[in-house]
Amino acid sequence: MDTKEKILSAAAGVFSSKGKHGTTMEEVAAAAGVNKAMLYYYYSTKENLYREVLSVTFKKIFKNISKSCGKTCGGDSHIGTIKRFIEAHFDAFSLNGPASRIFIEAATSEHEDFKQAVLSNMNNMEHRSAMHKMINDGIARGIFRKIDPRQMIMNIIGMNMIYMATKPMAGTMLGFDVKGEKKFLKDRKKSIVDMVLNGIVAKREK
| pLDDT per position as a tens digit, 49-86 | 998 998 888 887 777 777 666 544 545 588 988 898 89
What is the pTM assigned to this prediction? Answer: 0.76
- pLDDT number for residue 28: 96
Select the CATH number that applies to the domain covering 1-44 from these four: 1.20.90.10, 1.10.10.60, 3.40.50.800, 1.10.730.10.
Answer: 1.10.10.60
- pLDDT number for residue 32: 96
- pLDDT number for residue 72: 44
Question: Does the structure show a pLDDT above 70 at 13?
Answer: yes
Residue 203 main-chain phi, psi, to 5 deg:
-80, 130
DSSP β-bridge partners for residue 201? 144
**Residue 59, exposed/middle/buried by CB under 10 A (0-12, 13-18, 19+)?**
middle
Give the whole-angstrom CA distance, residue 46 versus residue 160: 30
State which of 43-47, 103-107, 181-185, 199-203 shows the largest mean pLDDT. 43-47
Question: Does the structure show a pLDDT above 90 at 182?
Answer: no
Interval 202-206 mean pLDDT: 62
Give the whole-angstrom CA distance, residue 197 versus residue 160: 14
- pLDDT number for residue 138: 92
State which of 10-14, 108-112, 119-123, 157-161 shows the largest mean pLDDT. 10-14
Chain-wide mean pLDDT for the chain?
83
Give the whole-angstrom CA distance, residue 39 versus residue 49: 9
Annotation: CATH topology of 54-200: Tetracycline Repressor; domain 2 (1.10.357)
User: Where in the chain do CATH 1.10.10.60 domains reside?
Assistant: 1-44
Contact 65, 127 (CB under 8 A): yes
Question: Does the structure show a pLDDT above 50 at 18?
Answer: yes
User: Where in the chain do CATH 1.10.357.10 domains reside?
Assistant: 54-200
